[in-house]
Amino acid sequence: MTRPLTILEMSRRSGFSEPTLRYYEKTGLLGTVGRDPETGHRRYDAATAERVEALACLRSSGVSVDGLRDYVRLLAHGTEKAGELNGLFAAQAGQLAAEIERLRVRHEYLTLKAELWAARGRGEDDAAIVERVEEVLKRF
């Protein structure tokens, strides 16, 4: 990044809405966001943009706003809080892994249902597919 980003550019880059960026600034998650001296509009320098992108990654991974606050608070202490940061990331990674497994099961279910209806549409015996669907349903 060679020049500071506008709020619109930061929004597009991070996936956060402009109101969310303003809220995160207001609540201290972003630190101080620079301003254009002529217009007073927000300008996100490289360091702030990097923080916004890290928060966007965490948020899209399921970290709550309170979790983001914990992250920013712990990060300010550096390696002194390494154990707590490790715990925060490990817990979220575990939750994300569980969600991925739930999505895999849902994907398998939908794929089998598509196979089931394709077989029925062709007039084929669907007993084996029905059995597989029932097995997947037990994993929900």
| pLDDT tens for the chain, residues 1 to 140 | 689 999 999 999 999 999 999 999 999 999 999 999 999 999 999 999 999 999 999 999 999 999 999 999 999 999 999 999 999 999 999 999 999 999 999 999 999 999 999 999 999 999 999 999 999 999 98
Provide the CATH number for the domain around residue 4.
1.10.1660.10
- For residues 72 and 99, state if they share a domain: no
Q: How far is CA 8 from CA 13, 15, 29, 35, 42, in A?
A: 9, 10, 18, 14, 10
Q: Provide the domain limits for residue 29.
A: 1-76
Could you tell me if residue 83 is inside a domain?
Answer: no
Contact 30, 21 (CB under 8 A): yes
- For residues 72 and 104, state if they share a domain: no
Tally of domains in the chain:
2
- For residues 7 and 59, state if they share a domain: yes
Q: Is the dihedral of CA 127, 130, 136, 140 positive or negative?
A: negative
- For residues 68 and 103, state if they share a domain: no
Could you tell me if residue 105 is inside a domain?
Answer: yes
